[in-house]
Every structure is written in structure tokens, then in C-alpha cells.
Structure 1
Amino acid sequence: MSDPQAPRLLRALAGETLERPPVWFMRQAGRYLPEYWELRAKAGDFVSLAMNPEMAAEVTLQPMRRFPFDAAIVFADILLIPHALGQKLWFEAGEGPRLGPLPAVAALADQVEASTERLAPIAETLARVRAELEPERALIGFAGGPWTVATYMIEGRGSKREAARAFAYAHPDELDALLDVLVEATARYLVMQARAGAQALKIFESWCENLAEDVFERIVVRPHAAIVEKVRAAGVTAPFIGFPRGAGALVEGYAEAAPVEAVALDTQASAALGRRLQAQGKTIQGALDNLLLREGGPAMDARVAQLLAQWGDGPYIFNLGHGVLPDTPIEHIARVVERVTGNRVKAAA
């Protein structure tokens, strides 16, 4: 039994079944809020905003003022690690991230220690948020999964990941070396986040689709296990949430092999899959469709009720199967949070 005074999210991550599940949303801070765009305009560009602790803390806290979320997640980006390792990063308006040519792996490896120092503004953001956030609300730190980050580094942009998967087959040794660098940099980054105030840590592996089982085990499961082991070796005890989005039938193998306390499930996860993971001792998180959240209406209400009914009697965290879309109406988020928490949202307009 965990501490009854601990934040609801941490109690769920410790394996408790609560009278209602904790709720937070991936990408709950950001593009769907008008106050975010006001601050983004002042920052000038996304990277400048993410690396400005005062502004990033404000963005992190904006949704916490509107909604009774049980946890805040630090406003940052999974591609700050390649940026800190020396690969050029910028964001094209309306198109997303762009990265410069992939540096030599040896050159990236030489920058691992320096990369943690360059990401120190994220630690300051976390410290600022933790100082202002109520003690009953948890603070989540995060990083991208090494494979997902590598796909952007290899391809230079978001895509269908075909070139990155081809690279994985054609250049396995080079990919493994790149993943090793990212494991080390990511572990250091997460240790820094935990020491700055993050009470839970999440690994976002956003692009697990179409990976063969042996490849998935090599480039997703092993790196995740290595990150957790390195973080634990540094004395950090914060629980981990692993998110192998798109892994499908491979999720159960991930849950068995990756030493994470919770597994985040995407939209396609079945009720039976979630219950099996709970029975194996894992807390589960997810899996409301972000498109359904955007559309709202009776179908959204029904799905929320269904998720609560099918998973609510085991350790469960209510969340989405992917991040909040930028054109999601604020009132839809308010309605879902109200239905999960039973608390009326007054600041949804």
C-alpha cells in the first residue's frame, strides 16, 4: 500500500486501485489553449519557448489552472536531446520539426555529457513548476524513446518512418551504436529531471508500428530496459511509464521485459489486453482516441464510461491514446475531466 497522502497518480503507479483513476492528458499543455499561443508569440519559436524556464513553466501550469488534472507534465520536446547532442533542430510552421544532417555517431557520443548540461533549462522548468504546483498533484518528466528519436535524426523530419526502418535493416550496427548514445543521453537527462522535481518519468516511444518482433525487442525493449536500469543505478526511484505506441500485439512482451511500473496503451488496445496487463502487476494508462476527444458528443461520453468500466477496477490512469490535437475544443476536455473526476470544471471557457 502506498502513502495515502501521496498524489493520486503516484498511488496508481504504486499499484493501488483508487475510488477513481487519476487523469491527465498527453499534450495537455500547449496548442489547443489560447494562452499558449500568446506566450509562444512572445517566445518567437518553439525551441526558444521550450528552453526558457520561466515561459515553459507557465505553459506547463496553464492547463492545471483550467482543469483538475491529477498531474502536470513538463513542457518540453522529445527532440531536445538530438538538439543538445549537436544536431541542428528547428520547427517549420504548420509542418513540424526539421533536423539537419545526422552527425557521425562518434561525434554524438562525444557530446553526451555536455548534452545534459545544455538541457539544464528543463531542470529549472521542473523546479519552478514543482514549487508552484499543489502537493497533491504530481509532476511528470519525460523523454522520447531512443528508436523514435533516432527516426527523426535519420530522416530529418516526421514521416512514415520507412527510411528509418530500412536503415535499421541495412545498417544494424550503426543504428545500435546510435541507440546506445541515445540511451546514455536519455538516462542522464531523466536523472536530472527526477532530481529537479519530476515524481514520475515517461518514455514516449511514438513510432512502434510495423516493427518485426525481433527488431522491436532489439531497438525498443532493450533500450527502454537499459534506460530504466541506468536511472535506477543513479539512485532515482521515480516510477516509469512506458509508451510503446503502435506496438499492437507486441505490447505484452514489452510489459514483461521492460522494467516499467506502468504501460501506456494507445487507442487500439483492447479491454482484454489492459486487464491482462493489470493482472500481471502493471498499472495501465490510456486509451481514449484523441480524435474522439476532438469530436465530442455522445460517442465520447460512451467511450469514457466504457474505459472507466473496463479498467477502473485495477490500477488505471485515465488518459488518451495519443496527444491532444490542436483544434480540440476546450469544453470537450472539460467534459471528460468532469466525468472522470466528478468535479465541475469552472475555468473551461
Structure 2
Amino acid sequence: MSLPQLKNDTLLRSFLRQKVDYTPVWLMRQAGRYLAEYQATRAHAGSFMALAQNPELACEVTLQPLRRFDLDAAILFSDILTIPDAMGLGLDFVAGEGPRFAHPVRTEADVMKLSVADMSRLQYVFDAVSLIRKELDGKVPLIGFAGSPWTIACYMVEGQGSDDYRLVKSLMYSRPDLMHRMLEINAETTALYLNAQIQAGAQAVMIFDSWGGVLSDSLFQEFSLPYTKRVVDALIRHNDGRQVPVVAFTKGGGQWLEDIVTCGADALGVDWTVNLGKARQRVQDTVGFQGNLDPMTMFGGEQAIRSQVRRVLDDFGPVGAGGHVFNFGHGISRFTDPAAVSILVDEVHTYSPQFHTP
């Protein structure tokens, strides 16, 4: 299928540290519960999984924020837990409680039963990617994504979100061999999954290591980072005549930037605890950066939003040989007023050109 040519490639070029005229912006979870139109579409679908597994509805939700805001990218509406669901763990979203797996991975027998997911079970995701690319008509790039092998393993073992990661860390400490086997399977599956998204039309991909920061030093380097690197090493990096940027985001991983940069990603996402200017110095502008406004800023009123947006841009400083994509340091809160998002996007676009040399 012939896909429309891209009209605004500012985001892709920023990830690759190429010259642009302003700092592009998109927001993690920009298609989601803070939008009334999302809530209506979700109610029509009947459940989160019914929404995510319907390419037409997933496309509609992906496009909704772009109708409201002058964003520089769309991100596929899906979930990082589609992979373990395709492995047969039985994903469901319980109202008020979040994701749950019917068959968590807790024992040696559970681990030994795991195998690389059949990509045909995820065809609904790839169909959504192709449809979104067609409907975007080249307006902005489409970002695909997946969870990191470690983050996916946390959910697989815990069976749901966790406050203390007791079950997954118990397995990691008591049977590291089983944890490594699970991570190897996750890494292979994730690479296949992201490559299929790229082949379907995703123009950049992001790996969310949302729970990498719960590991201690040295264990992050053993159980998370090497498997993210395996995924990155296996990815298609050129498609449709241009480079496909890869972004790696470890929440709580600011202390490991020098290590994370070795995974081979083109850009690193960082949370709001990181100073972007110092981060650039630490990695000597060898990668681009994405981030890193605190999502709670959105509840401080217009003056606070504009002030904090400027602070983030000031922290990064003159772009020069670097690359900066503005974003939150984690996902947008469901309670955010959409009017606050309009203020944020306006401030990024109006204040940032001074940091880009003519």
C-alpha cells in the first residue's frame, strides 16, 4: 500500500539531531481519558480491549488529540501489554484497578511454557498503524511503541501493577535463570512486534521501560538494559526511504544515562527529575532527548504552565548539535483540562524557535 508523504518531519529530524526551526512537541498518553471524545469512543467500544483491538476505533482515538492541538506527532493508541496478551496470559482491564492477567507467570513451569508470540495475534495493531498512516495523510509522523522486556516481565509476573514488585523481584533474586529466559523471549517478541509496526507504517518507535527505575544499580544493567539493547539492535532502522528513529525511555533512570545511551537508541526519554542541559553534557550530545515537564504542572494555571515550559526549554538550551522533542516526563494525567494542553503546545511553539539557529 502506498502511504502519503510526510509534510511535517520536524519530530523525526529532532530525534536524529538534525536542524529544525522549532522544538516539536507531543505528549505521552495524548490520546486518552482527559479528552471527552475519547471517553465517548471508549463507552461506544464497551471496553478498553474492544477499543484497542478495533483498528477503526483505535485510529479514531489516535487522531482525536490532533484535531484539538497543534501537535507534531501522533502516537498509536494501544497498550504495552498487548504482547503478553498475545502470549496467552489473558489480559483484561478491570474498572478502577487497571490491567490484570488471568494467567500470570509465577513458577518454573509457567516460564518454560512461554514462547515468542505469534505476530498474527497482533494483526489488529498493525492494521491500526496502516489505517492511521492513511488517515493522517502525511500531516505529522506516527510513533509506534512497545514496553521494554523488563517492564513487560514485571506485569507478567505480578499479574497487574505493583507497589513493591515483590513477586517479580523474588523470581529475579531466587531464579535469575528463569528471569533471563523470560526476558530473552520478551526481547525477541518485542523486536518482531516493533518491526511489524514499522513495516505497517510507524515512522518512529519508542520503547517504554516504565519500571526500569525500580531496579538497583547493577541489576538494571543485568536485567533491563541488555534486553532493551537486544530489541534496538534487531530493529529496522530505515523504511520508506528514510531513517526510523528509536527512542528509549526509562522512568527513574536518570542516574544511568551514560549506560542507557549504549543501547543504541537515537534519543532518550527522561523523566522530570533530570536536568536536560546536564544530561546533554553527560552524553556529549551523542543522542537526542525527549521530555521532560512534570505532568502535574498542568494543574498550576496558565502562568505556571508557560513558566515551566520555558524552564524546560531553557534547561536544554541552544539546540546546536543536540536534538530536543518536548514532552512530559511521564504520561498526562486523566484529570488534565484540555485547555491546559493548548497553552503548553502554544508556549513550546512560540518560545522555542530562539533556541534553533537560523
Give the TM-score normalised by structure 1: 0.91
Determine which of 281, 286, 302 is the counterpart of 2:307. 302
**1:306 partner SS:** helix
Contact 1:26-1:319 at 8 Å conserved across structures: yes
Equivalent-residue separation in structure 1 for 2:314 and 2:21 (angstroms): 12
Contact 1:23-1:69 at 8 Å conserved across structures: yes
Q: Does 1:326 align with 2:334?
A: yes
Determine which of 235, 242, 248 is the counterpart of 1:242. 248
* Cα gap change, 1:233 to 1:19, in 2 (>3 Å): closer
One-letter code aligned to 2:340:
H
Q: CA deviation at 1:274?
A: 2.6
Determine which of 53, 56, 72 is the counterpart of 1:54. 56
- Pairing of 1:272-283 with structure 2 (within 5 A): 272-276=277-281, 279-283=284-288
- Pairing of 1:123-134 with structure 2 (within 5 A): 123-134=126-137
Equivalent-residue separation in structure 1 for 2:49 and 2:145 (angstroms): 16
Structure 2 segments unaligned to the other structure (5+ residues): 1-5, 352-358
Q: CA deviation at 1:170?
A: 1.5
Equivalent-residue separation in structure 2 for 1:145 and 1:247 (angstroms): 13
Structure 1 segments unaligned to the other structure (5+ residues): 344-349
Equivalent-residue separation in structure 2 for 1:272 and 1:189 (angstroms): 33
**1:149 partner SS:** helix
Give the TM-score normalised by structure 2: 0.89
Corresponding residue of 1:184: 188
**2:249 partner SS:** strand
Q: CA deviation at 1:106?
A: 3.0
Q: CA deviation at 1:209?
A: 2.4
Q: CA deviation at 1:169?
A: 1.4
Determine which of 96, 100, 103 is the counterpart of 1:101. 103
Aligned length: 336
Equivalent-residue separation in structure 1 for 2:300 and 2:101 (angstroms): 33
Corresponding residue of 1:142: 145
Q: CA deviation at 1:278?
A: 6.1
Corresponding residue of 1:32: 34
After TM superposition, which residue ranges in structure 1, 4 or more long, deviate above 6 angstroms? 233-236
One-letter code aligned to 1:327:
F
In the TM superposition, what whole-angstrom CA distance separates every residue of 1:75-122 from its partner, at most 9, and x where no partner exists? 00001100001001111111111112335223221xx252x1111111
* Cα gap change, 1:18 to 1:231, in 2 (>3 Å): same
One-letter code aligned to 1:12:
S
Q: Which range moved further: 132-141 or 186-195? A: 132-141
Q: Which range moved further: 164-173 or 53-62? A: 164-173
Determine which of 196, 203, 206 is the counterpart of 1:202. 206
**1:29 partner SS:** coil
* Cα gap change, 1:32 to 1:218, in 2 (>3 Å): same
Corresponding residue of 1:154: 157
* Cα gap change, 1:278 to 1:10, in 2 (>3 Å): farther
Contact 2:206-2:247 at 8 Å conserved across structures: yes
Percent of aligned pairs sharing the same letter: 38
In the TM superposition, what whole-angstrom CA distance separates every residue of 1:218-242 from its partner, at most 9, and x where no partner exists? 2221011100111249989521000
Contact 1:138-1:199 at 8 Å conserved across structures: yes
Equivalent-residue separation in structure 2 for 1:333 and 1:290 (angstroms): 10
Q: Does 1:259 align with 2:261?
A: no
Equivalent-residue separation in structure 2 for 1:50 and 1:277 (angstroms): 39
* Cα gap change, 1:134 to 1:312, in 2 (>3 Å): farther
